[in-house]
A = this chain, B = another copy of it.
Amino acid sequence: MNKPLNAGDALQPKSKFRPLSVNQVEVGGFFGPRVDVIATTTAKLLFDRCIEARMLEQVDPDLPNPGVVIPFDHGNTVTTQMFWDSDFGKSIETAAYALNRKRDEELEARVDDVIDAYGRLQAEDGYLNSWYQRIQPGQRWTNLRDRHELYNAGHLIEGAVAYYHATGKRRFLDIMCRYADCIERTFGLDADKKRGYPGHPELELALVKLGRVTGEQRYLDLAKFFVDERGKKPNYFDQEAVARGDKPEDFHFSTLEYCQAHKPVREQREVVGHAVRAAYLYAGMADVATEFSDDSLNPALEALWSHLTDKNLYVTGGFGPSKDNEGLTFDYDLPNASAYAETCASVALVFWASRMLGREPDARFTDVMERALYNGALSGISQDGTHFFYDNPLESHGNHHRWRWHRCPCCPPNISRLIASIGTYFYGLAEDELALHLYCENTADIEVAGTKLGIRQETRYPEDGRIAVTLQPETPVEFTLALRVPGWARGFSLEINGEASKIAPDKGYLRIRRQWQAGDRIALDLKMEPEMLYANPKIAPDQGRMALLRGPFVYCVEETDNAAPLNAYVIKDGTPVTLDRAKGLDGAVALKVDATVESQPTDALYSGTPPQRAAASLKAIPYYLWDNRAPGEMLVWLRREA
């Protein structure tokens, strides 16, 4: 096996920051056991459940055609089968990262079998889509808007790139390059090509990955084409609907805002529509902005970022409150108990935020990435890696639990591939700068300013704010080391080789330029204290409430630690919050705070008597760990009083 080194990429970074590839980072600390759970349990389980759902039968041309095994969705034009290639793609990607973590011949053989089936399915011209080749032949490229055709291609490409990084095997990558070539022959500005683009964005960012790993500029060009064409007039999706004999206005979701094709992307200023589609698109836009140094995308990306983070983001880093469109509604609409906040949306936000770091280190993006990662994304999977949240409410009356599987199984492999590849989010590497975005025990091997460099983080982060970084360049080398100071830190201290440094953060990063020697050691101490957070008065359901946080973690209270009803407790602003250990959650840090608990003398539904009050205390655990113990109520936004 011949694993590619250094971002796994043939195109080398210049002033752009790119992530490392998964095989460059050995993850320990907080994420180590989580990666292990994916590697030893979840990766196989995803394969089992995909096959149980009959996905392989749809892919493998040598197996009997299963036909439509899940009914067409009510009133919609899609079946879950239409996006099965994406679920398989994400499951292969997860398996690839699992194999990178821990060789497993059986799992690798299973993945190879599926890849082999895709190889046999692939059409002469490179086309590859199990739905259109096996279930609805003859209809390819007729409904980009609704039927996930290009979306599926993207996830298979991401799977292929990951499998190449993890195993060095090129077969799947070659298959997907042939398909990408087919797509390139089909879509483009030439008169004989279609000027369409993905109904569900995803292929854009996947093509950037493919371009980086293969060194083929044309894949980056194709990604840029899809970004550039999106939403132009006359609208491709409308024209395509007419060509099918459909009325554009009969679109199930009424408006093309649903798929962010309502206007050209450079004119977009507000996050609208389906949340995952949105964040995948913006991630692809950010990738294109980075790779092409295309500043014309910046006003849109900046405005979209502000619109999300200033008006539409849950404190957990989830977004998209509504089940109806799996997405956005109106500004400040952030209901808690009915929050949709799909796991995939938080995962997609991590993708988007990480790509906003392609131009320069800027903690505005990293802080949100970290919040989404540690809360709204991580909550999507159970501690044992076997059950999954699709929607992530911030309040539960005891009836919300992780699924074993979902009819639309997008979230399980999405959170799994994120965790299993988490090391790729730790760093951003430019030609002569290395940014440390996320802190976690790990070692990484990179090449910076032409010199091989080993880097090691020693830390109990995020349980503790102290991080020690040791550098081992092959030879002394000058480059900038950028260390993030998270927005939540109440202060910090920095030492370089034992000497205090007074350097000030630039956009939230301590950018240290010097000639680094082998054994150089940086000690960063981030002041991590529990904090009480208050919501903007325009967020109606959070008024009279506060959230407890510590470091990157948002906390919640659960019925198993606190007698229900949880909404009976009131915390006084400024009450001291102390640290504790959570029960049955591998010793995670819990928070304790004194409170008042209200009650009524009778069980009447409504009463003219104000509640009685008694002293009580609350114990809170990190939000991502909820619903791993006895089922019951859960609450993030706790009642407060002045």
**Residues of A participating in the B interface, judged by any CB pair closer than 8 Å:** 73-76, 309-311, 313, 315, 330, 332-333, 335, 337-338, 395, 397, 399, 531-541, 543-545, 547, 565-568, 570, 573-574, 598-600, 603-611, 613, 633, 639-642
Contact = CB atoms under 8 A, between A and B. Distances in A.
A537 B568 CA distance: 6
Nearest to A323: B324
Given A74-B74, A330-B397, A338-B338, A605 B565 contact: no
Q: Is the interface of A mostly helix, strand, loop or mixed?
A: loop
A642 B640 CA distance: 12
Question: Chain copies in the assembly?
Answer: 2
A611 B332 CA distance: 17
B599 A537 contact: yes
Nearest to A313: B605
A540 B337 contact: yes
A535 B603 CA distance: 10
Contacts of A600: 534, 536-537
A568 B536 CA distance: 10
A600 B538 CA distance: 10
Contacts of A313: 605
11 contacts: A74-B76, A333-B397, A335-B337, A338-B338, A537-B568, A537-B599, A540-B566, A540-B567, A543-B639, A574-B610, A610-B640
B606 A537 contact: no
Contacts of A532: 608, 610
Given A395-B540, A568-B537, A639-B543, A604 B74 contact: no
B610 A573 contact: yes
Q: Which 6 A-B pairs have the closest CB atoms?
A: A74-B75, A543-B567, A573-B610, A537-B568, A74-B74, A540-B567
B309 A605 contact: yes
Contact of A541 (B311, B337, B605, B640): B337
A545 B598 CA distance: 12
A533 B608 contact: yes
Nearest to A612: B642
Contacts of A535: 605-606
Determine which residue in A399, A600, A611 has the highest number of CB atoms from chain B within 10 A of its CB, and name it: A611
A537 to B, nearest CB: 4
Contacts of A337: 335, 540-541
A397 B539 CA distance: 10
A216 to B, nearest CB: 41
Contacts of A599: 537
Nearest to A635: B540
Given A330-B399, A338-B335, A567 B606 contact: no
B606 A531 contact: no
A639 B538 CA distance: 14
B608 A536 contact: no
Contacts of A75: 73-75
Nearest to A538: B565
A603 B395 contact: no
A547 B605 CA distance: 13
Contacts of A310: 603-605
Contacts of A611: 534, 537, 642
A540 B397 contact: yes
A449 B598 CA distance: 53
A539 B605 contact: yes
A225 to B, nearest CB: 35
Contacts of A538: 565
B541 A568 contact: no
Contacts of A74: 74-76
